[in-house]
Structure 1
Amino acid sequence: MRQPKLIDYTLLIILALIWASAFFNIKIATESFGPITIAFLRVFFGSIPVLLLCFYKKIKIEAFSKDWYWFAIIGFVNLVLPFFLIAYGVKSVQSNLAAILMSTTPLSSTVLGHFFTKNEKFDFIKTFGILIGFSGIVYLFSDNFLINDNNFFSALMILLGSTCYVIGGVLTLKISDKKNENVTGSILIWAIIILIPLVSFIEKPWETTPSIESSISVVYLGLVSTGLAWLLRFRILKNNGLIFQSQVSYLIPIFGIILSYIFLDELITDKVLTSLLAVLVGLYFVKKAGNKKIT
């Protein structure tokens, strides 16, 4: 891995902005589309740049190989479920809350890694970071002005969606010997296959007349926040490694709050800022423990 240069930090910031921008775009998309439709359109448009890259680089897509069931399971857990749950939740809560809730993914990964991997066990620093980070989320749920009886369940669904990403990551270890582009393309294909009957029989989006804003948002979510973001992530991982790429976790909730304020004029309460700070501090200690093991 090379030493990070200015271009590498620039790409990292761009990736964080792209992923952070997904939250307010999901909010806009929910004005016209149901959560299943949003999930379907995200994976459909998101598959286009990934599959085109695989075609250009002559990378074989193994979606229907002997390992098809792993691609199908991961596609369901890592794409279908979280995309649906996040869209469902964001409809009833501010998108900046979703950005903070989703930033707990590295903390959840650390917890699951302790139980399902051999080399990711808890130590004092990790445990301290996890406790600080999740205490921030508990504190966020105490903000009765933004999270109340009407949308408490929706906020929990977003948190569950972030956990699905973590479980999907653990499952991906089963096929870790395959190229990232092949895995991503294959799980996107299976996510589309899974969602086609669901969107057709449950939401029937062709019977609605979506607004221009919502239509632009779902296309953006697919092409940019899903497809382009994954390709950008591949490049950063290849050039700079996982530790460098994981720093995006610090930036996403910060950018998410800023963008939601700019584009949706969403409220930023003291509890939101305190929760954000606690999550970032928790992430810092968890990653600090991980860096010590590598060095």
Structure 2
Amino acid sequence: MASVVRLLILAALWGGSFLFMRVAANPLGPGVLIEARVGLAAVTLLLLALYLKKAIQFWQYKRHFLILGVFNTALPFVLIAYAAQTLNASTLSILNSTAPIWGALIGAVWTRTPLTRSVLLGLALGVLGVTVLVGKEANLVGTDAILPMIASVSAAFCYGISTNYTKVAPKLEAFNNAHGSMWAATLLMLPLAFLIPVREAVTTEVAVSVLALGVLSTGVAYLIFFRLVTDIGPSPTLSVTFLIPAFGIFWGYLFLDEPVGWNTLIGTILVVLGTVKVTGFSFKKTVAAVQQSE
């Protein structure tokens, strides 16, 4: 039961990240927002590292952390923040959930593995889901939605690159990977934060959103993620991918009065089904792993 609760909390926190970025992206701009996000997360993880007496060998693995900082943190975060200036939270969360599909496809190209019928079917379902979502959203927002949607899908593509890189990267503890990559991302985002100034006065709502985004949806969420990987394994933890869009849609509807149209629901279902097919995810094995961890 404890693992199920952690899984739901993690999905709620990561689903909430799109809400927080939607609130803060326009007033702060992508550069300042993401610098604040990764900086707060880095400090949060540093304090926890000190409390848990965990050492980090940053300079020894600086190239590794910089790669993770680019493809797993800085680049996808700033792309999503750019998209959040235009797209609603539910659309952002659904497009982001295509990351496992990209990860599987990049892995197939990387290892030169032929794509199976199941993977091809999953890809077709994922593309169809995104098309349903994008087509309707473009009608609502107009052509201004095209680049933000490309940016959001590109962020998911970055996560796919990062997932495959970690398979051949130095085998460090997951906490160290997160901690080191957050500091690397903080350094990488610093110039952009100065180049794109804050656009509006920071309100209480924006400040709270940034704090929640950095501390809860990034720092604390990573810790829960690591605990789940340890308790139930990496594959069952992947089930959080299927829960994030539900929370993204729910938070957007609850706090921002975002409409939940037929395209949102159908697009979500198609993307989730596509992800299941592409990754070969098994819900039965996930349930068994969760029950075994209790």
Tell me the TM-score normalised to structure 2 length: 0.90
1:142 aligns with 2:135: yes
> Residue 280 of structure 1: CA displacement?
1.6
Give me the whole-angstrom Cα distance separating, in 2, the residues matched to 1:146 and 1:277: 21
Give the match for residue 262 of structure 2: 270
TM superposition shift of 1:176 = 4.1
- 1-structure distance, mates of 2:33, 2:97: 21
Q: CA contact under 8 A between 2:102 and 2:157: conserved in structure 1?
A: yes
Query: CA 1:209 to 1:147, structure 2 compared with 1: closer, same or farther past 3 Å?
Result: closer
State the match for 1:42 in structure 2.
37
1:92 aligns with 2:74: no
Q: Quote how far apart the aligned CAs of 1:56 are.
A: 2.8
Give 1:204 deviation, angstroms. 3.6
Q: Show structure 2 runs of 5+ residues with no match.
A: 287-294
How far apart, CA to CA, are the structure 2 residues paired with 1:289 and 1:256?
Answer: 21
Q: Quick check: 1:38–1:83 contact (8 Å CA) kept in 2?
A: no
Aligned counterparts of 1:84 and 1:176: Cα–Cα separation in 2: 26
- Secondary structure of 2:224's match? helix
Counterpart among 112, 123, 131 of residue 130 in structure 1:
123
Aligned match of 1:3? none
Please give the alpha-carbon distance, in whole angstroms, between the structure 2 residues aligned to 1:148 and 1:204.
Answer: 27
What residue is the counterpart of 2:16 in the other structure?
Answer: 21
Label 1:138 to 1:190 Cα distance change in 2 as closer, same or farther (>3 A).
Answer: same
Which of 166, 175, 192 is residue 186 of structure 2 equivalent to?
192
Encode CA deviations 1:191-235: one digit per residue, 9 max, x unaligned.
1111222212x1244x85211101110111000000000000000
CA contact (8 A) 2:38 2:214 kept: yes
Q: 1:240 to 1:215 in 2, by over 3 A?
A: same
Query: Alignment length, in residue pairs?
Result: 285
Q: Using the alignment, how far apart are the partners of 1:47 and 1:289 within structure 2?
A: 31
Q: 1:216 aligns with which of 208, 223, 231?
A: 208
Moved more, 85-94 or 72-81: 72-81
Amino acid across the alignment from 2:118: I
Equivalent position of 1:253 in the other structure: 245
Shift of 1:269: 1.7
Q: Is the 8 A contact 1:135 1:278 kept in 2?
A: yes
Return the match for 1:226 from 185, 196, 218.
Answer: 218
Contact 1:42–1:218 at 8 Å: present in 2 too?
yes
Q: Partner letter of residue 102 of structure 1?
A: N
Unaligned runs of 5+ in 1: 1-5
Of 282-291 and 140-149, more deviation after overlay is shown by 282-291
> Any conservation in 2 of the 1:125–1:289 contact (CA below 8 Å)?
no
Determine the C-alpha separation between the residues in 2 that align with 1:154 and 1:239: 37
Shift of 1:278: 0.6
Contact 1:180 1:234 in 2 (8 A): yes
Displacement, 1:159?
0.8
State how far apart, in whole Å, the 2-side matches of 1:139 and 1:241 are. Answer: 33
Report the Cα offset of residue 152 of structure 1. 1.1
Equivalent residue number for residue 52 of structure 1? 47
Partner AA of 1:23 in structure 2: F
TM-score, normalising length: structure 1: 0.90
1: CA distance, partners of 2:196 / 2:123? 38
Taking the aligned partners of 2:239 and 2:223, their CA distance within structure 1 comes to 17
**Amino acid in the other structure paired with 1:150:** D
Q: Say which is worse superposed, 14-23 or 191-200, in terms of deviation.
A: 191-200
Which one has a larger percent helix, Structure 1 or Structure 2? 2
Distance 2:284 2:123 in 1: 16
1:141 maps to a residue whose letter is V
Q: Displacement of 1:112 after TM fit?
A: 0.7
Supply the distance in 2 between the matched residues of 1:179 and 1:53 (Cα, whole angstroms): 15
